Amino acid sequence: MAGAAHRALPAQHDPATRLTPAERKFVAWLNAHKTRDQVLAELEANLQVAVEVELATIPIYLFTYYSIQRDAASGEAIDPVQAFANKAGGVIMSVAVEEMLHMSLSANVMYAMGWAPQIYGKAPAAYPTPLPSHNPVGPRGPNGETAELIPLSRLTFEQLWHFLQIEYPEPLDAPPQDRDWQTIGQLYSYVRCLLRTDWLSDADFQRGAAAAAIQPYNYSPNNVDTLYPTGKFDPWKPAPPAPRPGWSDSYPSAAAAADYTNRADSHAGASQLLCISTREDALLAIDTICDQGEGYPVPNLGAGADDDPSKREQSHYVKFLKLQAQFAAYGATTETLADEPSPPPPQLPAIMQDQLDQAQLVIAFPDNPTTDSYPPELQPIARFCSACFQYMLILTETVYRVPPAGQKLFFNEGLHRSMIWVLDKYIRTIREIPLGNGQFMAPVFENLDLGERKDSFAGLTRFGVEAVNAAQALANTVPPNSSMATIYGDVAYYAALATGTPAGLAPGKRPLVDVRPYWSE
Amino acid sequence: MTKHAPDHSSTPSVLHQTVRAGALPAPGVPTPRPFPYADSPPFPATIGPQPAGMPLHACMGLNSCQGSDRFGTRGRPDTGQPNACAGQGYCATATDHTCHVQNHCRNQGGCGLYGTAEEMDNPGNNACQSLGSCATPINAERFSTNGPNQGKSVWARARAVFEHGVWPELRQELLSGQTVSAAQPLPETLGLPPAPFAQTGPTYLWISDDNGARDNMTACGASGLSGAGGCS
């Protein structure tokens, strides 16, 4: 996070972070050399960059997340390798959830200032990818490389290094940077300085109605996927306050074994997902983003290891570093880690990549797949993955156009269903499709063109029908009752579930909401 | 077009699949012994006929009237007796669903896996379609992942919310309505849920028929912590 500050005494919530000396100097320079119009133009451009940076991280983290088999063993049979895989999944998902929060926060700041955040079609164009405006050269990685290029890759020691590249904490009193930024914290530091100039007042944050912004009630820090069991548990034991069961009391219940990766107090301001109507709100939103990513700043030291007053939630950087530190390779790594927070010792029990691979707890995904890299018969199936992803981005943009009274229902029926019930299950299904070379089909998150936003549901439907047809054609090539027939049937089911087309394939299920009414002005 | 044979209406087969090869012990083995629910009727996989005009509900002990539970007006198969009154029913009568926001109607959402702190503090107490939270029935092992009930039983919270919030309001609505039979008891104080489950709600051990029918319900999530199968 940008610069040193002090942790406030317990209060309603943390105040906005104090400016560092470097930031104070830069704000004075901005006040002296920039006009109001220039400050506003830079804010619009940099907030859009921030939205795209947050967006870029989501496919990267999700790709690795979906390479992990988290619960191949039931609670009573979890071994250390399975436990690590499950923990890795929980940790990565906990960060992905907060990246969605960060994108929403930056988008809410934009919206409050009168600018429509652009998300549809703004994911990275190809992988490995630089993050938008990132300095192409960074700290040395485990293989000696310094390129800031992030791949889509399965869970490995090296991929966790790339996660660290994304979340690398900024040094003490680092300069604000709007291009070739070294750390995300320095990009947000630049935005913070623009927000702090004398050219702005609270009225500048009231050009988009706070009631129409993405509301706090849509965000929850944890869900069953951000949790992980700390070890073996008794899957039959009821959750507390149930009385002790009559059978042998060997392992704890799932509830007692669960570790929560995110915490409800890991935010500045009144809530995690802030709506913006003042300058202070915007600054607090940026504090939440920076603290969660890189850690709460410790005075005269730099980034801390945690991001919450209760000190129970680690920053993204520390979460990933501690995962990496459990790989056996960590002990001999030559990667360049930040001085603060200080690197952890190797975590035990040490895990070898071979153990994860041999147990098939990390699926053999190809690196950086594209639709075109898959065999022609699988390409429509891959393409629908991107179509669903893009439609989710349009749904996010559409939230700002939904009358506030209907936002909760729209969010549930649009975003939640598309994330949890369509895309999540679709990816879990396609990753069962063998590619014939020892690898399995992996998701793609391409900037697929669904047409104009008002027509995008029709575009999604078109790609869905193509996926259904491809899956059904493949099903006809395998024995009717085989596991592959079931998998192809499931692909068709989820593609049809999203749009209700072809009719009858997902009976009794409601399709995703069509955004057309909100874009037909 | 190939007709997709498996019944996808509630539990797609992908929720039970894994690409992992190799021998793994059967999930849940060994099961607790002796089987704690030997004296209880088996979990009914299908929902029986319901009293006309009465609200559906999300889980055991959350029913509003006599004969309203999973066995319905036909009653338990072993005794032929329907449950006697509100709060005593066996399990959900709302259409089974496996995930957040899939509920069809008011008060039919489960809770605990996905959702906000507020939703998780109000299981079985949602306003309408798509505003409920998570799978039904609410298995006893399930705990809230957010909010003041974090780490604690979702079913126990649902029962408390029903007893102190939903039922008093619902009872008044039913008493003032025109559709309820005069014979239908609508007591001010709820009856106790069926004995073996009175403090826990329906356990997955019972729902899965002693681990023999794990497909009887599925709860979503990949961490293996939902307590009722998962989607790996």
Distance (Å) of CA B120 to CA B87, B114, B117: 21, 8, 5
B115 phi, psi to nearest 5 deg: 130, 170
A416: nearest CB among B22, B101, B201:
B101
> How many residues belong to chain A?
521
Q: Do B117 and A220 touch (CB under 8 A)?
A: yes
Q: What is the pLDDT of residue B48?
A: 82
- Residue pair A460/A511 in contact (Cβ under 8 Å)? The answer is no
Q: Do A74 and B227 touch (CB under 8 A)?
A: no
Domain co-membership, A310 together with A375? no
Residue A248 included in any domain:
no
Q: What is the pLDDT of residue B232?
A: 37
Buried b or exposed e, range A248-283, using 16+ CB within 10 angstroms: eeebbbbbbbbbbbbbbebbbbebbbbbbbbbbbbb
Residue B109 included in any domain:
yes
> How many residues belong to chain B?
232
- pLDDT average, residue stretch B60-88: 78
- Residue A233's Cβ-count burial label (10 Å; 0-12, 13-18, 19+) is buried
Q: Do B152 and A221 touch (CB under 8 A)?
A: no
Q: What is the pLDDT of residue B103?
A: 59
Last residue of a domain, one of A304, A327, A358: A358
Domain co-membership, A291 together with A412? no
Q: How many interface pairs between A and B have CB atoms less than 8 angstroms apart?
A: 238
Q: What is the pLDDT along chain A (521 residues), one digit of tens a residue?
A: 333 333 333 445 667 888 999 999 999 999 999 999 999 999 999 999 999 999 999 999 999 999 999 999 999 999 999 999 999 999 999 999 999 999 999 999 999 999 999 999 999 999 999 999 999 999 999 999 999 999 999 999 999 999 999 999 999 899 999 999 999 999 999 999 999 999 999 999 999 999 999 999 999 999 999 999 999 999 999 999 999 898 887 899 999 999 999 999 889 988 999 999 999 999 999 999 999 998 888 888 888 898 888 888 999 999 999 999 999 999 999 999 999 999 999 999 999 999 999 999 999 999 999 999 999 999 999 999 999 999 999 999 999 999 999 999 999 999 999 999 899 999 999 999 999 999 999 999 999 999 999 999 999 999 999 999 999 999 999 999 999 999 999 999 999 999 999 998 988 788 999 999 999 87
Q: What is the pLDDT of residue B101?
A: 56
> And the tokens for A438?
């020892």
Does the structure show a pLDDT above 50 at B204?
yes
B224: nearest CB among A71, A236, A508:
A71
Cβ atoms within 10 A of the Cβ of A87, count?
A: 22
CA B88 – CA B85 distance, rounded (Å): 6
Q: Which residues does residue A297 pair with via DSSP β-bridges, in sequence order?
A: A303
Residue A237 included in any domain:
no
A72: nearest CB among B18, B114, B220:
B18
C-alpha closest to that of B186 among B10, B91, B35, B68 = B68
Domain co-membership, A376 together with A286? no
Residue B129 included in any domain:
yes
Q: What is the pLDDT of residue B34?
A: 92
Angle between helices A379-399 and A483-499 (to 10 degrees): 30
Residue A213 included in any domain:
yes
Cβ atoms within 10 A of the Cβ of B21, count?
A: 10
Residue B182, classed as helix, strand or coil, is coil
Residue type for position A151: P
B154-201: pLDDT as tens digits: 999 989 998 998 888 888 888 887 666 666 778 888 888 888 999 999
What is the span of the domain harbouring residue A83? 21-226+261-358
Last residue of a domain, one of A290, A323, A358: A358
Does the structure show a pLDDT above 50 at B81?
yes
Residue B191 included in any domain:
yes
Q: Do B227 and A429 touch (CB under 8 A)?
A: no
Q: What is the pLDDT of residue B133?
A: 59
* pLDDT bracket for residue B20 (50, 70, 90): very low
- Residue pair A390/A98 in contact (Cβ under 8 Å)? The answer is no
Domain co-membership, A286 together with A380? no
* Cis peptide bond prior to A299, omega within 30° of 0: no
Q: What is the pLDDT of residue B175?
A: 82
Closest Cα in chain B, distance from residue A422 (Å): 11
Q: Do B25 and A77 touch (CB under 8 A)?
A: yes
Q: What is the pLDDT of residue B17?
A: 40
- Residue pair A120/A397 in contact (Cβ under 8 Å)? The answer is yes
DSSP A298-331: ETTTEE-SB-STTS-SB-HHHHHHHHHTTBGGGG
Distance (Å) of CA A147 to CA A130, A321, A350, B30: 9, 19, 28, 51
Last residue of a domain, one of A312, A335, A358: A358
> And the tokens for B192?
């106790």
CA A18 – CA A510 distance, rounded (Å): 48
Distance (Å) of CA A361 to CA A228, A234, A355, B14, B27: 15, 21, 8, 17, 16
Which chain B residues are closer than 8 Å to A408 by Cβ?
Answer: 131
What torsion, rounded to 10 degrees, do the Cα atoms A213, A202, A100, A194 define? 150
Q: What is the pLDDT of residue A39?
A: 98
Domain co-membership, A137 together with A193? yes
Q: Do A425 and B12 touch (CB under 8 A)?
A: yes
Residue B77 included in any domain:
no
Residue A242 included in any domain:
no
For residue A107, the domain's CATH number is: 1.20.1260.10
> And the tokens for B143?
């705990």
Domain co-membership, A347 together with A491? no
Residue with tokens 């039931």: A74
Half-sphere exposure of residue A96, counting CA atoms within 13 Å on the CB side? Answer: 20
What is the span of the domain harbouring residue B99? 94-223
Q: Do A86 and B27 touch (CB under 8 A)?
A: no
Does the structure show a pLDDT above 50 at B4?
no
Q: Do A224 and B225 touch (CB under 8 A)?
A: yes
CA A95 – CA A15 distance, rounded (Å): 24
pTM of the model: 0.93
Q: Do A229 and B225 touch (CB under 8 A)?
A: yes
Residue B139 included in any domain:
yes
Domain co-membership, A46 together with A185? yes
A228: nearest CB among B203, B220, B223:
B223
- Residue A507's Cβ-count burial label (10 Å; 0-12, 13-18, 19+) is exposed
Domain count, chain A: 2
Domain co-membership, A201 together with A136? yes
Closest Cα in chain B, distance from residue A223 (Å): 5
Minimum CA–CA partner of A362 in chain B: B20
Residue B70 included in any domain:
no
Minimum CA–CA partner of B12 in chain A: A490
C-alpha closest to that of A350 among A325, A380, A376, A373 = A325
Q: Do A71 and B151 touch (CB under 8 A)?
A: no
What torsion, rounded to 10 degrees, do the Cα atoms A263, A269, A275, A280 define? -150
Residue A56 included in any domain:
yes
Distance, first Cα to last Cα, chain A: 41
Residue B79 included in any domain:
no
Domain co-membership, A354 together with A378? no
Cβ atoms within 10 A of the Cβ of A349, count?
A: 13
Residue A318 included in any domain:
yes
Q: What is the DSSP letter of B107?
A: T
Q: What is the pLDDT of residue A485?
A: 97
Residue B3 included in any domain:
no
A225: nearest CB among B140, B155, B222:
B222
Which chain A residues are closer than 8 Å to B153 by Cβ?
Answer: 238-242, 255
> And the tokens for A444?
């793609």
Domain co-membership, A379 together with A325? no
Q: What is the pLDDT of residue B129?
A: 60
Q: What is the largest CA-CA distance in chain A?
A: 75
Domain co-membership, A78 together with A191? yes
Domain count, chain B: 1
Domain co-membership, A31 together with A146? yes
C-alpha closest to that of A26 among A157, A192, A238, A224 = A192
A228 phi, psi to nearest 5 deg: -150, 150
- Residue pair B147/B231 in contact (Cβ under 8 Å)? The answer is no
